[in-house]
Structure 1
Amino acid sequence: MLSSTEMRLYQTLKKKFYPMFEFKQRHNVTTGRQDNLLDCIVHAAITDDFIENSTQILKSREKDVPAPRTIRYHLEKLEIDEILRQESKISEELYRMVEKQRWFVNKVDLSIDTHDWMYYGDTDDEMVLGTQAKNGTSYAYKFATINVVERGIRFTLKALPIRNYSEICNVVEELIKYAMQKVKIKRIYLDRGFYEVPIVRMLKRLGVHFVIQAKKSTGIMKVIEKNKDKKVIAVDYKMKRKRKAPSGKEDVKLFIIPHRRKKNERVCFVTNLDVNEKNAKKYAEGYRKRWGIETSYRVKKEAFRPKTTSKNYAIRLFFFLFSVCLYNLWILINIGLGLALDRRKPEKPLVTAKMFGNLFIAAYDIGGLT
């Protein structure tokens, strides 16, 4: 049984969230109203299922549910720029909720992550890129997110699609510039996919502190061999571009530590921080913790995203960005409930992802909210 505080929180968030979407519906629509469309999408998202199955389940609960083709029709009508604009508006509103509570008033750590949505259609289709092979395909739609990672909580500030590999540096820069308008940045953590000279150069130009997990290039392997008697290595290093190009090198600090679980394995990082053999492990530990590993709030990348076999990019983009917004709402619910119950920000979620989704769908029904 929900308390009155919990009920109001769900109702308030849903009342704010749903009207932010625009499906170009007529004012006199009688079937497939926007709130019912979104209920179906939310249900598919939190159950990791297809829209077709979610509509059937919600019908069994005597809800006014549109047909799956009606939902697809409204999604396919959306333009790419329109979807991005709506996501930006919603992200701004969700952050305003965070800002009012002053949750990120101090300097915060950020992480930038890439997300692959594996693709099984024509490899020449719009926005499809080659990627590491997985589940029988080596093609995917790719997205990038920038996240506040404090006390194990990953709150996504912004998400963007990656249209081609040549623009990854520009995408990362856009994400960071957006974050700089919202929060004070302590450090930015990036995985091996961002280990590139142009990205390091851009991070330096923006004046942010960064830690990037490095790929074991020939140059780094030489450093390891040269210092094989050292348990921890911290040296000045010159990154080089794969292809010969003007100004194709960049000075960084390279630090290398033993792998936590694999004997004789090393983990390598580059940074512009003042790192040495004594504090290298501290920075590596910061990378591991801030990346979200082993925290209760880290969920698989597919969480909160409906399944689909559609080759329509508008549907794919909408579902991905919708999942980011829904994830942030889940974070807001848990932090909000924790503070409402006179607790600090909870280290573990008070409401599971699935419970959140079911209660969110029911929020208009509970208490008769209209």
Structure 2
Amino acid sequence: MTKQAAEVVDATASAVDLVSHLDLSSYTRDDTYPEWHDSKPFEPMLRTVLLRELEDASDAAVHRTLTNDSSVATALGFDPTDVPDRSTITRARQTRFQGLQTTIEVSVRQIRTLAARRGSPVGAPYTEDASEEPAGSSKRTVNRLIRGKTREVLEELTTVVFPAFDFDRPSGSIYHDEELLRLETLLGVTGTAANGGAETYGDHVNPEPDIADPFFEDGPTGETLLTAIKSLEPSDIADMVNRGLTRVLTRAKPSVEFERPIMLAIDMTYVAYSGEREELVRVQGAPEEKEYDWCHKFATANVVGDNVQFAVAMVPVGNADNHDPEAYPGEDKSHRAGGIVRRLVDIVENRARLSVRRVYADRWFHATDVVAALEERNLFYVIPAKRDDRVKRFIARMGNKVTVKEKHAMHGPVRNGVTNSRAETTLVGLPPDEDYDGRQVFLTNLAVNDEIGLDRRQTRKKIKRYTRRGGIENAYSSVKEFAPWTTSKNFSVRLFHFGFAVLLYDMWLLVDFLVQTSLDIVEFRTKPRVTAPRFRGFLNRRLIELL
């Protein structure tokens, strides 16, 4: 049993995944019940006992799980309408498998040790402090919820999100759009390239193909998918992704506790690019702190609540995307940070129908045009300041206390303005604290003051209220975990892969959120209950079941 378990035990595998993988046919010789006995089948019952021991569960708890979750019953080998009752499980454990008691005990002990070394949740009961689970919940409860919610979300991926996409393909195409999107999902959860992933897809769709069959009997090729993507304009891809994000948010809205109006977090995500840059106008220089020189940039907006965050809008950044270049002064007609902000806010308000009141943007959006864009829309904002010479001088003067500088002037090109338009903001400097060991400076238009100690404490509280969304910047690295591998130079391909990865990222957040609400947990948590690798593992297995 332990050797078989070693094939599947990892950070994502649950105890149900493990026992359903085991081939227990070699132990049937030890069955104390004759073949003619009116009993439940041997192997499913042995898996049930193993599951009980691995999860340290009671017979009643195992029976409830089999009764309430048909997927667990099926995985163990039962007919979901004919599962064993509690007394049957007890008798099997005490009588039917008495001769296997030592084998079961040794195997369970070895598997638990293996699981602990590999960081698997198998055999490691929750404790209230370590897991932050509410009283009365357990690892079994959470795992059952995760499996159930993942099934729900995958169903919604195909029925709610997929219809948001429409490839520009000729009539009579061999593959439906949905099949191409299933392939894209498989590429995202496995991190594989189009051609290699398509082969895996074909292996599952048609595991024993007739060598005389045409290639399409095995499913679409990677080139089929890439050709379909290349036929799309970047603006069409962005529009379809945003339509899909709105549909995911709509699914979550009944349970989401957003402030009204909402707080919006705007971030820039960098996707490394290596290769020739000729005629690739959207390839841009990467920030100095990155380990690569060139990248694609994508701006994203998250709506943030006390108990949840969701990506709700995405736009590509490059060339003259997402702003009116003729509205800006000067010869430089490239993208503008303020234009990106205007576009994202428009998508959130017009498509998602959410009213924005407060914005937190990352440091890339420290720009005169951004301040002007937010002021003209009467939006409150907090933006980390770039360390230019004036900000460095401010830091040198602030000492070790909260410091405020009002009417800090900024100059630069502004929409419908001049090349050196002026905008005013307020600088707020925060000294080191338990969360950050250096001085931080922010641009803001909040009402802040540093006159007395009470004013300084309130100012710190206001800024920190916005910086609670700082976990989003770290979480956004998880978006790339849902993206296929690609070396394509085609921008539509890279944009589509990134946009679809944002959708899968949102589906992950949705599963985590639904699990939390099912457990009556509503506090804001930047650390997910369901890790991204675990969700990808569940999604991958469930997707393959449907192929």
After TM superposition, is the score higher than 0.5? yes
Asked if residue 23 in structure 1 is aligned to residue 167 in structure 2, the reply is yes
CA distance in 2, matches of 1:299, 1:153: 17
Say if 1:152 and 1:303 are closer, same or farther in 2 by CA, change over 3 A: farther
Task: Name the counterpart of 2:517.
Answer: 339
- Out of 34-43 and 333-342, give the one that drifted further: 333-342
Q: Which amino acid aligns with 2:345?
A: I
Alpha carbons 1:14, 1:360 under 8 Å: kept: no
Say if 1:26 and 1:236 are closer, same or farther in 2 by CA, change over 3 A: closer
* Equivalent runs, 1:66-105 vs 2, <5 Å: 66-101=220-255, 103-104=257-258
Say if 1:45 and 1:335 are closer, same or farther in 2 by CA, change over 3 A: same
SS in 1 for 2:340: helix
Q: TM-score, normalised by structure 2?
A: 0.59
Task: Name the counterpart of 1:185.
Answer: 356
SS in 2 for 1:169: helix
Say if 1:61 and 1:346 are closer, same or farther in 2 by CA, change over 3 A: farther
Percent identical pairs in the alignment equals 24
Task: Name the counterpart of 1:274.
Answer: 447
* Equivalent runs, 1:180-329 vs 2, <5 Å: 180-181=349-350, 182-228=353-399, 230-241=400-411, 248-260=421-433, 265-276=438-449, 277-292=456-471, 299-329=477-507
CA distance in 1, matches of 2:435, 2:241: 41
Say if 1:358 and 1:255 are closer, same or farther in 2 by CA, change over 3 A: same
Task: Name the counterpart of 1:47.
Answer: 190
Mind listing any 5+ residue stretches in structure 2 that lack a counterpart? Answer: 1-15, 18-68, 71-147, 207-217, 320-333, 450-455
SS in 2 for 1:279: helix
> What's the offset of the Cα at 1:340?
4.3
Say if 1:51 and 1:355 are closer, same or farther in 2 by CA, change over 3 A: farther
CA distance in 1, matches of 2:238, 2:227: 18
SS in 1 for 2:468: helix
SS in 2 for 1:87: helix
- Out of 179-188 and 264-273, give the one that drifted further: 179-188
> What's the offset of the Cα at 1:130?
2.2
Say if 1:201 and 1:339 are closer, same or farther in 2 by CA, change over 3 A: same
CA distance in 2, matches of 1:349, 1:319: 23
Q: Which amino acid aligns with 1:117?
A: V
- Out of 3-12 and 184-193, give the one that drifted further: 3-12
CA distance in 2, matches of 1:177, 1:243: 21
> What's the offset of the Cα at 1:313?
1.1
Q: Which amino acid aligns with 2:190?
A: T
Task: Name the counterpart of 2:301.
Answer: 146
CA distance in 1, matches of 2:392, 2:163: 54
Q: Which digits, 9 at most, give the CA deviation of each residue in 1:233-273, with x for residues without a partner?
A: 11214222268967633222211112347998421111100
SS in 1 for 2:471: coil
Say if 1:109 and 1:243 are closer, same or farther in 2 by CA, change over 3 A: closer
Alpha carbons 2:189, 2:539 under 8 Å: kept: no
Say if 1:260 and 1:341 are closer, same or farther in 2 by CA, change over 3 A: closer
Q: Which amino acid aligns with 1:251?
A: E
Structure that is richer in strand per residue:
1
Task: Name the counterpart of 2:339.
Answer: 170
CA distance in 2, matches of 1:262, 1:11: 40
Say if 1:345 and 1:287 are closer, same or farther in 2 by CA, change over 3 A: closer
Mind listing any 5+ residue stretches in structure 1 that lack a counterpart? Answer: none
SS in 2 for 1:278: helix
Alpha carbons 1:209, 1:272 under 8 Å: kept: yes
> What's the offset of the Cα at 1:147?
0.7
**Bigger radius of gyration:** 2
CA distance in 2, matches of 1:322, 1:271: 33
CA distance in 2, matches of 1:16, 1:264: 45
CA distance in 1, matches of 2:268, 2:250: 25
Would you identify which runs of 4 or more consecutive aligned residues in structure 1 move more than 6 Å?
A: 261-264
> What's the offset of the Cα at 1:108?
3.0
Say if 1:242 and 1:9 are closer, same or farther in 2 by CA, change over 3 A: closer
Asked if residue 36 in structure 1 is aligned to residue 187 in structure 2, the reply is no
Larger RCO (CA within 8 A; separation ≥ 6)? 1
CA distance in 2, matches of 1:176, 1:326: 22
CA distance in 2, matches of 1:24, 1:263: 49
> What's the offset of the Cα at 1:67?
2.0
Q: Which digits, 9 at most, give the CA deviation of each residue in 1:77-103, with x for residues without a partner?
A: 223233233223323322322334454
> What's the offset of the Cα at 1:73?
1.9
Q: Which amino acid aligns with 1:69?
A: E
CA distance in 2, matches of 1:23, 1:294: 31
Q: Which digits, 9 at most, give the CA deviation of each residue in 1:91-125, with x for residues without a partner?
A: 33223223344543634321100111222233241
Alpha carbons 1:145, 1:156 under 8 Å: kept: yes
Q: Which amino acid aligns with 1:254?
A: L
Alpha carbons 1:116, 1:141 under 8 Å: kept: yes
Q: How many residues align structurally?
A: 365
Alpha carbons 2:165, 2:240 under 8 Å: kept: yes
SS in 2 for 1:329: helix
Q: Which amino acid aligns with 1:168?
A: A
Q: TM-score, normalised by structure 1?
A: 0.84
- Out of 134-143 and 268-277, give the one that drifted further: 134-143
Q: Which amino acid aligns with 1:258?
A: P
SS in 2 for 1:306: coil
Say if 1:260 and 1:303 are closer, same or farther in 2 by CA, change over 3 A: farther
Structure that is richer in helix per residue:
2
Alpha carbons 2:238, 2:314 under 8 Å: kept: no
Task: Name the counterpart of 2:268.
Answer: 114
Say if 1:48 and 1:284 are closer, same or farther in 2 by CA, change over 3 A: farther
Alpha carbons 1:126, 1:313 under 8 Å: kept: no
SS in 2 for 1:176: helix
CA distance in 1, matches of 2:340, 2:246: 18
Task: Name the counterpart of 2:125.
Answer: none
Task: Name the counterpart of 2:283.
Answer: 128
- Out of 38-47 and 197-206, give the one that drifted further: 38-47
